[in-house]
A = this chain, B = another copy of it.
């Protein structure tokens, strides 16, 4: 076999998966838009500089403005020479509010969006008489005490495979079906202190599923908080699922409390 360019270094197409954290406050969401600072646009700029060629990335999830991530994923390919394990180090000092936590080579078929089989979202609520302004962009801040038992009851009614039309806001890309599977909704409740040392009660709600409709996690959480103050019930949740009507579910909780925590490419792990 005669090499195409004798003596030249072999040019190999690489397909890279990166895992990414970001603080959603400084971005108009994930998806690239003209004249807006977006996560995708910022990552493409920095990766193009680091790799020395124009990079286009495919993200797993198009998070909204103000939504954070600990475990967003994206894939991109190219013939760049930079060793894969150097990419995070080279990129991370070029942005203050994004961190590439890992980079690994995948086979050419891999695609961060189409290869994903599930996701876990984390939603954080903080209950306090005197909401802490320093946490306003990182929590859903509520004043009324929540009954965790009632929230978990409703959460359990939402687990499983259902038509989640009632837990879905209309968006630009309407999906063919609103049937999704929620593998598990977990909730942790604990006492904490805010940045001034004032007592708070914190809630971490984790929703794991095979896919999510637009605003689905935020509507689930809004519904759970209504259950927590006695204004929503298991019966209402079942009715909402059957009716498919948005008005039958609870309100949309704010973006500030939401983190894309983990993407699954093989099996969905649900800790017990």
Contacts and interface: CB of A to CB of B under 8 A. Distances in A.
Please tell me how many copies of the chain the complex holds: 2
B23 A99 contact: no
B196 A133 contact: no
A202 to B, nearest CB: 11
A136 B68 CA distance: 14
B196 A134 contact: no
Contact of A136 (B96, B136, B195): B96
Interface in A12-53: 21-23
A138 interface: yes
A144 interface: no
Interface of A: 21-23, 68, 70, 96-99, 133-134, 136, 138, 195-196
B134 A68 contact: yes
Given A70-B196, A196-B70, A99 B133 contact: yes
15 contacts: A21-B133, A22-B133, A23-B133, A23-B134, A23-B136, A68-B134, A70-B196, A96-B133, A96-B136, A97-B133, A97-B136, A98-B133, A99-B133, A134-B138, A138-B195
Contacts of A99: 133
A70 to B, nearest CB: 6
A22 B70 CA distance: 27
Nearest to A136: B96
Q: Which of A68, A96, A136, A195 has the most CB of B within 10 A?
A: A195
A23 B25 CA distance: 14
Nearest to A261: B196
Contacts of A97: 133, 136
Q: Which 7 A-B pairs have the closest CB atoms?
A: A99-B133, A23-B133, A23-B134, A97-B133, A21-B133, A96-B136, A70-B196
Contacts of A23: 133-134, 136
A31 to B, nearest CB: 20
